[in-house]
Amino acid sequence: MASNLNTTLSKTYIGIELWVIIVIGLGLIFVVMLAISLWLTFRKKSKRANDRLPVSQVLSVLEEIKEIRIDQVSSNDGGLNTLSDKFSERDPEKVLINVETGNDSGQSGSFNNIDKGGEGSQLMEEGATGAVTSYRPSLHPLTAPSPLSGLPEFSHLGWGHWFTLRDLQLATNRFSKDNIIGDGGYGIVYRGNLINGNPVAVKKLLNNPGQADKDFRVEVEAIGHVRHKNLVRLLGYCIEGTQRMLVYEYVNNGNLEQWLRGDMGHHGYITWEARMKILLGTAKAMAYLHEAIEPKVVHRDIKSSNILIDDNFDAKISDFGLAKLLGAGTSHITTRVMGTFGYVAPEYANSGLLNEKSDVYSYGVVLLEAITGRYPVDYGRPQNEVNMVEWLKMMVQLRRSEEVVDPNLEAKPSTSTLKRALLTALRCVDPDSNKRPKMSQVVRMLESEEYPIPREDRRRRRNQEGNSEGESHRENSEPDKSDNPDLRLESRRNTQA
């Protein structure tokens, strides 16, 4: 039998013995199996990498996001150097909180039950940790350590940081209900902690087909590239499947509405000085959005609950989900009326015509809200007091301005300070949008110790007064023709001619 096997293996095919063909075949099978094994291993590793960083998907969405072109000057310190002189801050040391319990601490605890966006702050200026704080403009507001420091470098794509869904699940304890700090029509906001220990606010957009992408692009276009100390800073985003999430720095000191209503627990009510500091910072951020970048950003939802407050009582404008961009040469756009009842400008509500003056009106309502402590619309009050703006105009006409001040204020403002704030607010809520000031003018009015009239208006008024005086002078200096026979004669000859 062995001889038969040897005979069979010794047979030749195509000049090659059978045993040689069998060895070659086995070798080929081994090589093919080894190649398949290596390919499967490589594919598995590639899949893990793609799950970790779907670059192609991110880049495809990023292509849909328009890049905001910011002047080189404005990107240096979050505000234009050309506006820095206009926006110079004073530095009086003021007590920031009226505390009913006698505790003057300026720090707050957790940030809970927020109406709109518990999203974070851009920068925290150095200041006192107690209630007494001095504030000064930062010359280099972007030199503070970034909350993103320590995170993997490869996940920096485009303007910000790309987070994986797993990153944000770990940060928010799988989006635990205990971590919810705000919710609304846009989605839910969670508090989280990154792997480097820094707290963040994660806005998880509602998974509505098409709407999540729209809200995502709007917010990224509006504030993805801009930097200002009084704007909430957008740190990054997450794009995985149908998930769209935005990641902000975290602010843990509530919002203006909570402080005005006394909802910050034992901290009591916010003082007049702190209110004006917050409103001044808000005005500076709005001036930056309207006048310092191209295209300009119209927020469309300026209200007290969207003004977050950090531990130094600096304002942080948040929630840009309704924002619109206006390019150069565009005086206004027509859009569906959006916003919050009581804060919407009348011309926008009636016609849908939107520009930056609509934001100015909303700011004026917030300023009046801070002065009076009232809601913009309150149906629990008498009929003539339901609408705060109309009621306040009536009180000013009746010369009862002192009666409009928030009764919860322990230290009332001086008459001149109150008058300056009221007149500034009333100019902002003027029914004629063309008569409303620019936000840079509002900043100067709030900082000025004089009657709050913008410089341009004062110059125009002086010119008008100068012209009227000149005409009066010419009339008085002309000789009376009726008293001069020669002039009467010359006049008669000219008439006959």
Would you say 372 and 406 are in contact if contact means Cβ atoms under 8 Å apart? yes
Query: Max alpha carbon distance in the chain (Å)?
Result: 160
Would you say 229 and 84 are in contact if contact means Cβ atoms under 8 Å apart? no
Q: How many CB atoms lie within 10 A of CB 14?
A: 5
Q: Which residue has the tokens 């209110």?
A: 275
Q: 328: which 2 tokens?
A: 């150069």
Q: Is 128 exposed, middle or buried (0-12, 13-18, 19+ CB in 10 A)?
A: middle
Q: For the CA atoms of 473, 477, 480, 486, what is the dihedral angle to 10 degrees? A: -150
* Phi, then psi, of 51 in degrees rounded to 5: -65, -30
Q: Cite the DSSP H helix spans in 373-431.
A: 388-397, 415-428
CA nearest neighbour of 371 among 301, 440, 279: 279
CA nearest neighbour of 364 among 443, 457, 426: 426
Q: Report whether 204 belongs to an annotated binding site.
A: yes
Q: Cite the DSSP H helix spans in 288-355.
A: 346-351
Distance of CA 60 to the CA centre of its chain: 25
SS (H, E, C) 116-177: CCCECCCCCCCCCCCCEECCCCCCCCCCCCCCCCCCCHHHEECCEEECCHHHHHHHCCCCCH
Integer Cα distance of 188 and 204 in angstroms: 5
The verdict on whether 167 is a catalytic residue reads no
| DSSP sequence for 436-486 | SPPHHHHHHHHH-SS----HHHHHHHHHHHHHHHHHHHHHHHS--GGG-HH
> Cis link prior to 452 (omega < 30° from 0)?
no
User: Sheet harboring 180-184: ordered strands across?
Assistant: 156-157, 160-162, 234-240, 243-249, 199-205, 187-193, 180-184
CA nearest neighbour of 254 among 430, 152, 463, 106: 106
How far is CA 94 from each of CA 21, 104, 190, 276, rounded to the nearest angstrom?
A: 96, 12, 33, 11
* Phi, then psi, of 98 in degrees rounded to 5: -90, 115
Q: Which of 77, 167, 183, 301 is catalytic?
A: 301
Q: For the CA atoms of 232, 233, 239, 240, what is the dihedral angle to 10 degrees? A: -80
Q: 36: which 2 tokens?
A: 């398949």
Q: Check residue 352 and give left, alpha or beta (phi > 0: left; psi -120 to 50: alpha).
A: left
Active site residues per annotation = 301
